[in-house]
Structure 1
């Protein structure tokens, strides 16, 4: 139950969207949105290097969903009243200690995601997804210990092979295949 108490301490208000990704004008606590399966917006930022590596984040052991699995470099909820741009910059600073300008991010799409973890936790989100060139060595990043267990750079080809070949089932957060394919293809285009 320790993880649940942490979850509620970190509760924030989020905007509620409809199933088509349109704001409804309503707000709720994140915990309430997850309990009721209400759609809400998030940001995902994938950092990559010029030599073809992608920055992965290992989720904290304290996370209610997918603890210790590897995931997107930076991800987080967009607080009610906060813009997508503000959330992307804030989450990047909070989770990996990196200050960026929104102009450094390249949008690669918005992805609808529905994950029913159990009766009291249903993630219904629209992931506003971006790529960003990592201009600092990973050793200079400062992970947020409450959210992030570890950070590592992985060759894009290794990442793709592990996802498609299922060489490491249970290693990565199970996003939709189309989501991962888009991320990998869009990074490849920029190399």
Structure 2
């Protein structure tokens, strides 16, 4: 397990399992660049951190160097599932690598699977991606400073510390309703998701959690920092 979270291990080229259009594994893998060039179906994870007491979601701002949706606000943590890896392990790894937070398996609740099919960058980036969407519910917001890694990127504001330079340039909290509003307005500073389509399940499910409580364990901020 430890090797799966070793940040010192550098992969020269990441490979993804190629899927059929209906999401089954084909039995072969391809490099990341080829997958997005050719429009192959593949799998990724989305991890949302939701603070119950403030009803806020944690968002990250994608680095300006990213080859998709550069500089835009996005999911708390997300990433592809590498060839041979499991969905849950990938979700745990992405959260640790991007935000420096290590959580136990039972913190992650798989709430739905979302198929994203889109083409950007003048047809150079084709994204046919099955996304396993996970929800992590905390009692209170994790302090933003807890996400700070060794990056030397400048702060956006005092409340938005920099994190891993290669993946994320900042983090912030946004209320559930405000995030729904900016997505509905197709705000240019936010990665687009159709709140009236499949991705609207995120808001429906969280609203149910608020009313009846989460089905997974919720964590206090100190517990997370010491995990």
After TM superposition, the score normalised by the length of structure 2 is 0.75
Say whether residues 1:154 and 2:182 are aligned partners: no
How far apart, in 2, do the equivalents of 1:10 and 1:187 lie? 38
User: Cα RMSD (Å) of the superposition?
Assistant: 1.6
Q: Which deviates the most, 135-144 or 102-111? A: 135-144
Cα distance in 2 for partners of 1:134, 1:146 equals 26
Write the distance in 2 (CA, Å) between the matches of 1:130 and 1:12.
22
Q: 1:10 deviation in Å?
A: 6.2
Q: Alpha carbons of 1:18 and 1:120: their partners in 2 closer, same or farther (altered >3 Å)?
A: same
Structure 1-normalised TM-score?
Answer: 0.89
Structure 1 gap segments, 5+ residues each: 1-8
Mapped partners of 1:163, 1:53: distance in 2? 15
Structure 1 runs of 4+ aligned residues shifted over 3 Å read none
Q: Does 1:170 align with 2:188?
A: yes
Equivalent residue, structure 2, for 1:79: 82
Q: How far off is 1:138 after superposition?
A: 2.1
- Deviations, residues 42-66 of structure 1 (Å, cap 9, x unaligned): 0000101012000011110111111
- The answer to which structure has the higher strand fraction is 1
1:133 aligns with 2:153: no
Q: Distance in 2 between matches of 1:32 and 1:59?
A: 22
Equivalent residues in 2 for 1:3-82, closer than 5 Å:
11-51=13-53, 52-82=55-85
State whether residues 74 and 92 of structure 1, in contact with CA within 8 Å, keep that contact through their aligned partners in structure 2: yes
Instruction: Tell me whether 1:180 sits opposite 2:199 in the alignment.
Output: yes
Q: How many residues align?
A: 181
Report which of the two structures shows the higher radius of gyration computed on alpha carbons: 2
The separation in 2 between residues aligned to 1:132 and 1:84, in whole angstroms, is 15
Q: Distance in 2 between matches of 1:67 and 1:109?
A: 25
Q: Higher relative contact order at CA 8 Å, sep ≥6: structure 1 or structure 2?
A: 1
